[in-house]
Structure 1
Amino acid sequence: MSTVLTYITLFVMGCVAIVLVRGLFNMVRGGSGNKSNQLMQLRIVLQAVAIVLIMLTLWVTGGGRPS
């Protein structure tokens, strides 16, 4: 179970990075402000999901403490 949570957490963290880079490229390119706002909102949601998954993974694995 902890391995699955770890992979899901890493996937969501990767998605956060991708959305962040897309938002930066949109801003540098001078793209739509509406699109930048949507990307920022998506990034915030993905970050919240990532934090919850990180905390869940730490809880399931015991936070790295020896058994």
Structure 2
Amino acid sequence: MNTILVIALILAMIATLVALIRGIIAFLQTTKEDLNAPEGSGPSRSRLKQNKMMMNRVLFQAAAIIIVAILLLAKGNG
């Protein structure tokens, strides 16, 4: 059981890193047009992607924390 949880933890950490990198890349690709867009024009495609990647990062981090908590509880009971 612990082996499966450790593998799941590693996958969650890798997914967190990938989401973080993709979010940073989306942030760096923000163009001057996006920055100078008029008020009320809504979020640009780049900003929506940034938001999605950062939300994914938070979800993957939460999954990793939950897996660590389960591992600690299993170790405490064993």
Length-normalised TM-score, structure 2: 0.73
CA distance in 2, matches of 1:27, 1:49: 24
Shift of 1:27: 0.6
Length-normalised TM-score, structure 1: 0.84
CA distance in 1, matches of 2:6, 2:61: 15
* Percent identity of equivalent pairs: 29
Q: Which residue is equivalent to 1:3? A: 3
Following TM superposition, the consecutive aligned residue runs of length 4 or more in structure 1 with deviations greater than 3 angstroms are none
Q: Which residue is equivalent to 1:33? A: 47
Gapped regions of structure 1 (runs ≥ 5) = none
CA distance in 1, matches of 2:72, 2:7: 13
Whether the 8 Å contact between 2:29 and 2:46 is mirrored in structure 1 is no
2:61 pairs with one of 32, 47, 65 = 47
Gapped regions of structure 2 (runs ≥ 5) = 31-44
CA distance in 2, matches of 1:53, 1:36: 26
Q: Which amino acid aligns with 1:44?
A: V
- Paired residues, number: 63
CA distance in 1, matches of 2:63, 2:46: 26
Q: Which amino acid aligns with 1:51?
A: I
Q: Which amino acid aligns with 2:71?
A: T
